[in-house]
Structure 1
Amino acid sequence: MPLSPPSPRTARHIRRVNYQGFERDDGLWDIEGELHDSKTYDLPSLRHPGQLRPAGDPIHHMWLRVTVDGDLVVRAIESAMDAHPLAGCPEAQRALQSMVGASMVRGWRQSIQTHLGGVAGCTHLRELLFNLATATFQTINAAFKSRGDEPPRHLGQCTGWDYHGEGVRQHYPRFYQQPKKLQNK
């Protein structure tokens, strides 16, 4: 179902974000992210004072490839910046290597903030990395399997996978927990 009809308006900014996951022949996984920002109007170029950036030309066009193993540990990371607003932006790519060895299982966002926060990294590459973990979980089926007595990682992380909800009751009955008001009856 689409959104309701909007009020009259004018488009000003377009952001496209795309993720793709790939299983490699060597047993590792590549997860790629792409971010593309543009404006619907001409605007002054920050990198080239006195010049205009034409409407539709990318302000940001950035790519990431993160290689992970079956335990969702980062084994390699690569980036590219086809478009960026300031001359110094590409320097942020070096800090990405500090994410090698980080785990997407627990503490992913904190690890990103620790290694790439503030001026150590790039806001847009951090944004791509934050959500790259979700694309990884969607790509690697093993991420949805329980390990021993531990529930799968995605349970308890959204309304649909509430331990007290119908999704867990139907698909992971072992980890289902009756809602508290039903337990007291």
Structure 2
Amino acid sequence: MPLPASQPRTLAHTRQVSYQGFRRDDGLWDIEGHLCDTKPQAFHIQGEGTWQADEPIHDMRIRVTVNAQLVIQEIAVAMDSVPHGECPPAQEPMQQMVGCTMGAGWRRAIDERLGNAKGCTHLRELLFNMATAAFQTITSNFGQTQPDVPPPHLGRCLSWGFESPLVARQYPMFFKWQPKKPPTSTAP
């Protein structure tokens, strides 16, 4: 179903973001993200330059190489178009993400290593959603490995909630699942 009709308006800005996932011949996985900002009219930043209509103001790419457990093995960054000369040095801090896991705590790991003035807002935005793209790429490797541990995507959204009809159909053993509580110590 389409969005409802909008009020009369004029396009002012376009941000395009895309992700692709690739299985590598060496058994690793490449997840690539691309962010491109354009404006439909010429755009000027005093002291920096002028971008023509539809010329990228931001044109950035990230390739993250992960193993089947979503642990980052390598990261590559390209900033083909940026509005400020101070932007390209933000590529180097991205290497701090090597060794991080694209799973629980992913956004926290990004903020700790690249947050605020430690990195680039646009590169962080690309990284945030790369975990979802990685998961979608590697889902066949997330089969049930332990009978008492649900797959990592369960309990992460409304459709995959432990009380949902989808979980009841696809993972009946985890329908209405509750994590086991650690044993309570009875030491004096």
Q: TM-score, normalised by structure 1?
A: 0.91
Unmatched runs of 5 consecutive residues or more in structure 1: 179-185
- In structure 1, C-alpha distance between the alignment counterparts of 2:99 and 2:78, rounded to whole Å: 20
Match of 1:54 in 2: 52
Q: Is the 8 A contact 1:41 1:56 kept in 2?
A: yes
Q: Does 1:92 align with 2:124?
A: no
In 2, the alpha carbon distance for the partners of 1:133 and 1:176 equals 25
Aligned to 1:33: 33
Relative to 1, partners in 2 of residues 1:177 and 1:42: Cα closer, same or farther, differing over 3 Å?
Answer: same
Are residue 79 (structure 1) and residue 77 (structure 2) matched?
Answer: yes
C-alpha distance in structure 1 between counterparts of 2:100 and 2:46, whole Å: 34
Matched to 2:156, the amino acid is Q
Q: CA–CA distance in 2 between the matches of 1:79 and 1:170?
A: 41
User: TM-score w.r.t. structure 2 length?
Assistant: 0.90
**Alignment partners' CA distance in 2, 1:57 and 1:22:** 28
Q: What corresponds to 1:101 in structure 2?
A: 99
Alignment of 1:163-182 (within 5 A): 163-177=162-176
* Residues 61, 83 of structure 1: 8 Å contact kept: yes
CA distance in 2, matches of 1:6, 1:143: 43
Counting only pairs closer than 5 Å after superposition, residues 150-161 of structure 1 correspond to structure 2 as 150-161=149-160
**Using a 3 Å threshold, how does the CA distance of structure 1 residues 139 and 150 change in structure 2: closer, same or farther?**
same
Q: Secondary structure at the match of 2:159?
A: helix
Contact 1:46–1:85, Cα closer than 8 Å, also in 2 = no
Deviations 1:83-136 (A, max 9, x none): 001001010000000000000121110000000001111000000000000000
| Aligned 8 A contact 1:144 1:154 in 2 | no
Report whether the alignment pairs 1:12 with 2:12.
Answer: yes
**Poorly superposed stretches of 4+, deviation over 6 Å:** none
AA at the equivalent of 1:31:
I
Per-residue CA deviation, residues 115-171 of structure 1 (Å, 9 max, x unaligned), is 000111100000000000000000002454233121111111111001000110000
Please, what is the CA RMSD of the aligned residues? 1.4
For residues 161 and 133 of structure 2, the distance between their equivalents in structure 1, rounded to whole angstroms, comes to 20
Identity of counterpart residues, as a percentage? Answer: 50
Aligned equivalent of 1:65, options 52, 63, 66: 63
Q: 1:13-66 CA distances to partner (integer Å, 9 max, x unpaired)? A: 100001000000000000000000011221213563xx4221111110000000
Paired residue secondary structure (2:131) = helix
Matched AA of 1:32:
E
The alignment partner of 1:159 has SS state of coil
